[in-house]
């Protein structure tokens, strides 16, 4: 049996999405900027994708910018807003548990003279709203908080944070990295008070190399990629039409039968967590009853996470140690450090992440394998 | 400008009656490395010289880089080749060549001719003088200096005429395969690829053995070793990489032997397996990247304890190298970047905090007696399940 439990790293593309991508690549391969019929046909795919996405968010089509994925969306949001609004102020607020796609561009802005405040989180991985309120200032121009954390699944209080931002820092825009929450939760930026929102295609059974950034039409923002002026000058470069078409369909499909999928995921997670907690010396990071239904972060004290990862891999179970996007370099996870997870738990943390395609049989199999391998792995450790 | 290269080789020149074997090996290896270079090449032997001639377009820089990886070559001379259309034409072409090769005329020179075709109208001395004056005539600013010239214009009169003045330093060493084959113990680290390179440089063909320990080491660690083997094979030619699953043996040692002796005992079994594979594959020795005192398992006592299981010679070319010296070579041959990728190898996973640094062979042997019941089976399984990767 195979169990792919690394869906927060990436997902398998839906068949219908892959078919659509193929059709666009082989048949409707025009450049949307071309004046002939083939160009117009290609343009229709881009428009249709905007329409599909805008509908899931309840926003306008022109508020969607297609990007090369989550990292570019985050970079565009932060750098673009900072560049366009630096006269209004140079203070930016974020959290200690963001993805590197947030922290790295902010480091660049810090070098350029911006001041960045990183809010700490509690043991549950969630920020404290009072602390946010305290840090918001007259010259705060941007607040960026992730919706669902990629490593432990903690959910930040986005709506409440948005209210505070509007009250205390009227000049500030509110950006949300929704890469792990879009498609799993209803996300409506306008209702939540979110001005910019990043999404990645391949986390929701769409293609890799494509994503989008929602930008409220009132936001002052500058492009970070320049050239032929595509996408109203906001993102130059020939549109990735196959990817964009696939992304639109994947977004639409993600929100079909959402309630059912959520129920399925919650049920899976509850059973899986109860199973995990029956094993010896296992801790679950964050308050599992309150974290996102598709992510379980477990610490298996006494076993190094890479070793457990490879032992599971040997049984065709695929998981992450820490966060997959950064785990090629073994460095302690920033999120777990910020949550003050003790070292012995930190180095033994494994992330299981599900998709609505995950079945209970796969999880039951995983629990069974864990029961078998943990005692052996614990017997052989480094001194 | 250059349509040919004259290949200079060193030590093979003195190999007496076996010389042709060495030259043929060199020609073969030159052909092998040039397979990947853009262009058509003809490699031929002619009266104690090896020429690489090109036909049509080729990439000069890439060709030089490839030739610099061939062991046995001490110098590569880019050569201008010309038909013999009389002295005047030869002199004019030589002047044109120097003009192009040395845009800055601020140098001294001398001409050094060799007349392999004895019916050429001028003898060597005459060529030296005549050609020298033509050059001075063309570039009055440059001077002749017969003792310490900046540039030596070398001329060889054969069927065609060859002119060259630059010698690019080659890798040195001996042509590949002229000195048998040895088995390299290849880990993912910095040292072992360098050790393999250095022994290969002496004309030794190489096979390699890697010990992996899933799930304690990952497929990426194994891939890294494959990548390293590929880089070494750019110099050492094709090789076979034997991948041995070492997990069960390691766990048995962990269970039954004192933990501070783990590394030594482990290395002894690695040597035994490597030696077995070496014999099976007609290797005449083992190669390791050990260097005295680098880590606990490389003190003289530890080396002696490890060596005690070997009946085959173990070649340790880095034995007296400092770490930085090893790093310098690894950077030069291009293995460093790959070696420092952070994947755990099986030598470190169970390493004790305070391993023994002065192991006593008798005590180690006594500890190994605890393995008596299982070790033969485990060794056999490890050898039977070996994976062979052709590099």
Distance from CA of B187 to the nearest CA of A (A): 19
Taking an 8 Å cut-off on Cβ atoms, the answer to whether A382 and B214 are in contact is no
- The pLDDT assigned to B116 comes to 83
- CA gap A12, B36 in Å, rounded: 37
Q: Strand B49-55 relative to strand B4-9: parallel, antiparallel, unpaired?
A: antiparallel
* Ranges of each domain in chain B: 4-169, 181-390
Query: Do A250 and A261 fall within a single domain?
Result: no
Three-class secondary structure assignment of A283-317: EECCCCCCCCCCEEEEEECCCCHHHHHHHHHHCCE
Closest Cβ–Cβ partner in B215, B219, B352 for A307: B215
* Same-domain check for residues A233 and A329: no
Q: Would you call A310 and B215 a contact, using CB atoms and an 8 Å cutoff?
A: yes
Based on the structure, what is the number of domains in chain A? 2
Residue B351 has its nearest CB partner, among A311, A329, A382, at A382
Does one domain contain both A274 and A333? Answer: yes
Chain A, residues 320-339, CB within 8 A of chain B, namely: 329-330
CB contact under 8 A, A329 and B254: no
Closest CA to A246 of A13, A69, A40: A13
Q: How far away is chain B from the Cα of A46, in angstroms, using its nearest Cα?
A: 39
> B217 in helix, strand or coil?
coil
Vertex B180: Cα angle to B174 and B186 (nearest 5): 90
Is the minimum CB–CB distance between A15 and chain B shorter than 8 Å? no
Q: Is A329 within 8 Å of B351 when comparing Cβ atoms?
A: no
Q: Smallest Cβ distance to B342: which of A330, A382, A383?
A: A330
The one catalytic residue in A13, A128, A273, A325 is: A325
Contact between residue A172 and residue A190 where contact means Cβ atoms under 8 Å apart = no
Q: Which strands, in side-by-side order, build the sheet including A91-95?
A: A64-67, A211-215, A196-200, A173-177, A140-146, A91-95, A115-119
Closest CA relative to residue A125, chosen from A269, A283, A339, A307:
A339
Q: What is the pLDDT of residue A207?
A: 98
Those residues of chain A that have pLDDT short of 50 are: 323-328
State the best of A306, A326, A350 to mutate against chain B, taking most chain B CBs within 10 Å: A306
Position B354 scores a pLDDT of 79
Of the residues A254, A283, A318, the one at which a domain ends? A254
pTM of the model: 0.81
Q: In B, which residues are within 8 Å of A312 by CB distance? A: 215
Could you tell me which chain B residue has the CA closest to the CA of A382?
Answer: B350
CATH annotation of B181-390: 3.40.50.620
A227 touches chain B (CB under 8 A): no
Q: Is the ipTM of this complex over 0.90?
A: no
Same domain, A86 and A184: yes
Cβ contact (<8 Å) for A310 and B218? yes
Q: Domain check: are A218 and A281 in the same one?
A: no
Of A351, A264, A248, A265, the closest CA to residue A306 belongs to A351
CB B335 within 8 Å of CB B231: yes
Cβ separation of B350 and A382 shorter than 8 Å? yes
- Is residue A173 located within the same domain as residue A297? no
**Domain shared by A143 and A64, yes or no:** yes
Q: Say if residue A179 is in the same domain as residue A302.
A: no
A284/A224 same-domain check: no
For residue A275, give the CATH number of its domain.
Answer: 3.90.1150.10
- Torsion sign, CA atoms B49, B52, B55, B59: negative
Distance from CA of B386 to the nearest CA of A (A): 17
From A310, A329, A377, residue closest to B214, measured CB to CB = A310
Nearest CA in chain A to B348: A382
Q: CB–CB of B342 and A329 under 8 A?
A: yes
Under an 8 A CB cutoff, do A308 and B259 touch?
no
| B 143-162 → A contacts, CB under 8 A | none
- Inform me whether the C-beta atom of residue B248 falls under 8 Å from chain A C-beta atoms: no
Cα separations (Å) of B72 from A3, B26, B35, B177, B323? 53, 7, 18, 11, 26
- Asked if A380 lies within 8 A of B254 by C-beta distance, the reply is yes
Q: Find chain A residues with C-beta within 8 A of B219's C-beta.
A: 310, 313
Q: Which residues of B touch A380 (CB under 8 A)?
A: 251, 254, 350
A347 touches chain B (CB under 8 A): no
User: Chain A contacts of B259, Cβ < 8 Å?
Assistant: 383
Facing A380 at nearest CB: one of B219, B350, B352: B350
In chain A, what residues touch B254 (CB-CB under 8 Å)? 380
Q: Which among B70, B340, B302 has a CA at the least distance from the CA of B191?
A: B340
Question: What is the predicted pLDDT for the residue at A134?
Answer: 96
Q: Are residues A270 and A227 in the same domain?
A: no
The two structure tokens encoding residue B79:
């050569």
Nearest CA in chain B to A305: B216
Nearest by CB to residue A311, choosing from B215, B254, B350, is: B215
Nearest CA in chain A to B341: A329
Cα R_g (chain B), whole angstroms: 27
Mutate: best of A316, A322, A383, partner B, most B CBs <10 A: A383
Q: For residue A325, indicate whether it is catalytic.
A: yes
Is A372 touching B (CB cutoff 8 A)?
no
What residue numbers bound the domain in which A344 lies? 3-11+257-379
**Residues in chain B with pLDDT values less than 50:** none
Residue that is last in its domain, among A254, A285, A300: A254
Locate tokens 């599971």: which residue?
A312
Collect all residues of chain B within an 8 Å Cβ-Cβ radius of residue A307. 215-216
**Nearest C-alpha neighbor of A17 from the set A243, A235, A171:** A243
Q: Do A380 and B251 touch (CB under 8 A)?
A: yes
d(CA A49, CA B321): 62
For residue B350, the distance in angstroms to the closest alpha carbon of chain A comes to: 5
| Of the partner residues B216, B251, B351, the one whose CB lies closest to the CB of residue A307 | B216
**Helices within chain B (DSSP H only):** 19-34, 60-68, 87-101, 124-138, 191-201, 219-236, 247-256, 262-280, 300-307, 323-333, 336-339, 361-369, 372-384
Same domain, A360 and A228: no
The distance of A39 to chain B (nearest Cα, Å) reads 39
Q: Which pLDDT value is given to residue B12?
A: 62
The distance of A314 to chain B (nearest Cα, Å) reads: 7
Determine which helix (DSSP H) or strand (DSSP E) holds A71, and give its type and residue range. Answer: helix A70-85
A305 and A167, same structural domain? no
**Residue B350 touches chain A, beta carbons under 8 Å:** yes
Q: Which chain B residues are Cβ-neighbours of A330 within 8 angstroms?
A: 342
Beta strands A3-4 and A317-318 are parallel
Residue contact A314–B351, C-beta within 8 A = no
Instruction: Tell me which residues of chain A, numbers 297 to 316, contact chain B at a CB-CB cutoff of 8 Å.
Output: 306-314
Asked which of A206, A237, A254 is the last residue of a domain, the reply is: A254
**Contacting residues of B for A369, CB less than 8 Å apart:** none
Contact A313 B216 (CB under 8 A): no
The CATH number that applies at residue A26 is 3.40.640.10
Does the domain at B4-169 match CATH 3.40.50.720? Answer given as no
- In order, the DSSP letters of A196-253 are EEEEEGGGGTS-TT-EEEEE-TT-----SS-SS-TGGGTS-S---HHHHHHHHHHHHH
A382–B218 C-beta distance less than 8 A: no
- In order, the DSSP letters of B114-131 are EESSTTSSS-HHHHHHHH
Q: Which residues on chain B are in Cβ contact (under 8 Å) with A383? A: 259, 352-353
Question: CA-to-CA distance for B49 and A275, rounded, in angstroms?
Answer: 76
**Beta-strand pair A320-321/A349-353:** antiparallel
* Positions of E strands within A155-210: 173-177, 196-200
């Amino acid at each position: 049996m195979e169990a792919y439990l690394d869906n927060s790293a990436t997902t398998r593309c839906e068949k219908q999405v892959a078919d659509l991508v193929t059709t666009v690549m082989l048949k409707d391969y025009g450049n949307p900027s071309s004046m002939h019929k083939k160009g117009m046909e290609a343009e229709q795919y881009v428009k249709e994708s905007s329409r599909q996405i805008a509908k899931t968010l309840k926003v306008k089509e022109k508020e969607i910018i297609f990007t090369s994925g989550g990292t570019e969306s985050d970079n565009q949001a932060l750098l673009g807003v900072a560049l366009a609004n630096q006269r209004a102020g140079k203070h930016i607020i974020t959290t200690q548990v963001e993805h590197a796609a947030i922290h790295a561009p902010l480091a660049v802005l810090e070098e350029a003279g911006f001041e960045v405040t990183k809010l700490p989180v509690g043991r549950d991985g969630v920020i404290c709203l009072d602390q946010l309120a305290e840090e918001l200032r007259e010259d705060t121009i941007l607040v960026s908080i992730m919706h669902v954390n990629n490593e432990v699944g903690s959910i930040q209080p986005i709506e409440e944070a948005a209210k505070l931002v509007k009250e205390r820092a009227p000049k500030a825009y509110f950006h949300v990295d929704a890469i792990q929450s879009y498609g799993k939760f209803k996300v409506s930026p306008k209702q939540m008070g979110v001005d910019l929102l990043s999404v990645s295609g391949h986390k929701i059974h769409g293609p890799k190399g494509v994503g989008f950034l929602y930008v409220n039409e009132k936001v002052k923002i500058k492009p970070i990629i320049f050239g032929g002026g595509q996408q109203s000058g906001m993102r130059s470069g020939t549109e990735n039409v196959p990817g964009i078409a696939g992304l639109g369909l994947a977004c639409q499909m993600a929100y079909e039968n959402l309630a059912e999928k959520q129920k399925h995921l919650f049920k899976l997670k509850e059973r899986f967590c109860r199973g995990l907690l029956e094993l010896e010396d296992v801790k679950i990071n964050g308050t599992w009853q309150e974290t996102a239904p598709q992510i379980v972060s477990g610490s298996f004290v006494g076993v190094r996470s890479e070793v457990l990862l490879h032992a599971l891999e040997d049984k065709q179970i695929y998981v992450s140690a820490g966060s997959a996007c950064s785990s090629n370099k073994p460095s302690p996870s920033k999120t777990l450090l910020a949550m003050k997870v003790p070292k012995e738990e930190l180095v033994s943390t494994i992330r299981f992440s599900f998709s609505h395609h995950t079945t209970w049989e796969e999880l039951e199999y995983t629990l069974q394998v864990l029961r078998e391998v943990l005692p052996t792995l614990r017997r052989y450790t480094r001194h | 400008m250059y349509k040919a290269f004259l290949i200079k080789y060193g030590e093979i020149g003195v190999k007496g009656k076996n010389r042709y074997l060495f030259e043929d090996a060199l020609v073969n290896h030159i052909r092998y490395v040039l397979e990947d270079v853009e262009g058509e090449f003809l490699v031929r032997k002619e009266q104690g010289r090896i020429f690489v001639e090109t036909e049509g377009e080729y990439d000069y820089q890439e060709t030089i880089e490839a030739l610099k990886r061939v062991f046995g070559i001490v110098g590569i001379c880019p050569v201008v080749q010309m038909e013999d259309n009389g002295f005047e034409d030869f002199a004019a072409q030589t002047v044109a060549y120097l003009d192009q090769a040395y845009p800055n005329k601020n140098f001294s020179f001398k001409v050094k001719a060799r007349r392999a075709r004895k019916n050429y109208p001028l003898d060597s001395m005459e060529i030296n003088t005549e050609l020298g004056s033509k050059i001075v005539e063309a570039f009055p600013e440059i001077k002749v200096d017969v003792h310490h010239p900046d540039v030596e214009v070398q001329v060889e009169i054969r069927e065609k005429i060859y002119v060259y003045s630059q010698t690019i330093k080659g890798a040195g060493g001996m042509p590949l395969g002229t000195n048998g084959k040895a088995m390299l113990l290849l880990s993912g680290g910095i040292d072992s690829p360098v050790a393999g390179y250095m022994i290969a440089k002496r004309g030794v063909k190489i096979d390699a053995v890697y010990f992996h320990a899933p799930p304690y080491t990952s497929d990426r660690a194994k891939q890294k070793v494959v990548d390293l083997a590929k880089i070494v094979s750019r110099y050492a030619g094709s090789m076979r990489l034997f991948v041995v699953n070492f997990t069960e043996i390691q766990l048995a040692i962990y269970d039954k032997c004192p933990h501070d002796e783990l590394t030594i005992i482990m290395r002894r079994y690695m040597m035994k397996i490597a030696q077995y594979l070496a014999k099976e594959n007609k290797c005449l020795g083992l190669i390791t990247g050990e260097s005295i005192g680098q880590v606990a398992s490389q003190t003289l006592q530890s080396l002696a304890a490890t060596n005690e299981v070997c009946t085959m010679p173990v070649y340790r070319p880095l034995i007296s190298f400092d770490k930085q010296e090893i790093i310098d070579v690894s950077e030069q041959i291009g293995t460093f970047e790959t070696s420092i990728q952070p994947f755990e190898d099986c030598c470190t996973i169970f390493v004790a905090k305070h391993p023994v640094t002065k192991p006593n062979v008798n005590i180690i042997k006594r500890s190994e007696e605890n393995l008596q019941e299982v070790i033969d089976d485990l060794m056999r399984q490890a050898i039977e399940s070996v994976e062979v990767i052709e590099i």
